[in-house]
A and B are shown apart, each in its own frame.
Chain A
Amino acid sequence: MRDAAPRHPPAEPAAPAESLRRPAGALEAEVMAVLRAADAPLSPGQVRERLAARPRGGELSYSTVVTIVSRLHAKGLLARARAGRGFAYTPVDPASLAAGQMSRALDAGVDHGAVLTRFVSGLSGRDARLLRRLLAGGEGPGQDRG
């Protein structure tokens, strides 16, 4: 993998101050890219090494990397597991990410009954009995469908 081994510093290393001045979103995207390219969870130290090895990557301080990965973890984009004294991070896969976003859409505290139009609402025991009688009532051709 391209980013697997640390390389020599790039020809025009960006000054640390310059890297830090980049918008937070860009740094987060780079960190995500590094983690996606890795085939195993990475510690912040490893993330930092691989960032520095990227073609246009610059030197970031260890604490900056820790801040970024913690932020991404808080956003639910990274999963983490204990590794030694710190954590190792790995990207959450996109499908379960969408599911997570949706379940958060449901729990976000706003009244989703106000806008979400559900296919079915809940059934009481009585409604369930009624429903079974209704659907058992006729033996039309559509009986076993659905």
Chain B
Amino acid sequence: MRLLVYLPLLIPLLAALAARPLAARLEPRDATWLLTVAAVVLAGCSTVALALLAASAAARVPALASMGDYSQSVVHRADPTPAVTGAVAALVLTGAAVAVTVAFRHRARALAESYRRAARLHDDGTVVVVRGTAVEAYALPGWPGRIVVSGRLLEALDEPGRAALLAHERAHLAGRHHLFTTVAHLAAAANPVLLPLARTVDYTVERWADEHAAQVTGDRRLVAVTIGRVAMMATPARWPAATLGMVRAGSHRVSVAWAGPVPRRVAALLGPPPRSRVLLVAAAVLIVMLTGACAVQAARDLHALLELARAGH
């Protein structure tokens, strides 16, 4: 125990800070897997750490100690965890359990609803064109999954643009990207510090689908321009789509580090294709594994302590 148990609570902070820079450097598929797995492992570790803190404090409550046949004094002497810390940990743990339950039900219901809607759309194909004035395109997970596109958007795009759009949405369905985002957001429900990771997974699945579309169409710039054009169309009138591509900017270096997801996706597509960075992924995996090891070691320590306290009774 001692300090080891606090490490799994600190690493998620580091991960939250690293998520966005990592997503900008890694190949989107690698980034999605890495961030999703990291979110799950780190959420698990921080939950274990909280449980250990709560348990070691609980072992000092006289009534519980006599029930478990522990020597209170041994626990007192060997474990420096203040009772207040234990109580706070128990409280946070309860909150996390409630949050995960709520988030799980919420997501499960949304997913079930999506499957129902997808099944009810009686068109035979994957692509469902809807009427209306909205500029809308999305992947609806289901069996089979559907791609919903508004007629207005299809009309506004030319043939290569449509191909790029559909390739992007097909990648979402084929890669089951909604599962990654769901799992990452459930992890973030267990530990809200991990929310930046979950949001970054929302972004990396878009990048994943963008790169897939670029591969299918064989034209990165086409995908970038299509995204830009659709985004302009979908954004109310202040930025007429007609001006897109006609403005000549003075500066060629445009920083998108703090921009929203759409400019970052476009900038990434205008740049060279992403390379896989084995070392960076390996380093991140190592940190996550070390965190796991810390949690396991802390659990062992508590177990040993309680054994000692039982013997000392």
Contact = CB atoms under 8 A, between A and B. Distances in A.
Interface of A: 95-96, 98-99, 101-103, 105, 108, 110-112, 114-128, 130-138, 140-146
B161 A116 contact: no
Given A110-B113, A117-B139, A136-B247, A99 B130 contact: yes
Given A102-B148, A145-B222, A125 B238 contact: yes
Contacts of B110: 110-112, 114-115
Contact of A114 (B107, B229, B248, B267): B107
Interface footprint category on B: 35 or more
A114 B112 CA distance: 11
Nearest to A122: B235
B169 A134 contact: no
A110 B105 CA distance: 11
Contacts of B141: 115
Interface of B: 106-107, 109-111, 113-114, 117, 120-123, 128, 130-132, 134, 136-141, 148, 157-158, 160-161, 164-165, 168-169, 172, 177-178, 181-182, 185, 205-206, 209, 219, 221-222, 224-232, 234-235, 238-239, 243-249, 251-252, 254, 256, 259-263, 266-267, 270
A145 B137 contact: no
Contacts of B148: 102
B178 A117 contact: yes
Contact of B232 (A103, A123, A137): A123
B132 to A, nearest CB: 5
A119 B227 contact: yes
B266 A135 contact: yes
9 contacts: A118-B136, A120-B262, A123-B232, A123-B239, A123-B262, A135-B224, A135-B266, A138-B252, A146-B158
A117 B252 CA distance: 31
Given A128-B238, A133-B247, A136-B247, A119 B230 contact: yes
B131 A95 contact: yes
Given A102-B148, A127-B263, A135-B245, A119 B185 contact: no
Nearest to B250: A133
Contacts of A136: 245-249
Contacts of B178: 114-115, 117
A117 B208 CA distance: 12
A111 B212 CA distance: 27
A134 B267 contact: yes
Contacts of B134: 103
Contacts of A112: 110, 114
A108 B113 contact: yes
6 interchain residue pairs of minimum CB distance: A146-B225, A142-B221, A119-B137, A133-B249, A114-B110, A99-B131
B116 to A, nearest CB: 9
B230 A144 contact: no
A136 B243 CA distance: 10
Contacts of B206: 117
A134 B114 contact: no
Nearest to B107: A114
Given A115-B141, A145-B160, A132 B243 contact: yes
Nearest to A135: B228
Given A114-B111, A116-B140, A117-B138, A138 B270 contact: yes
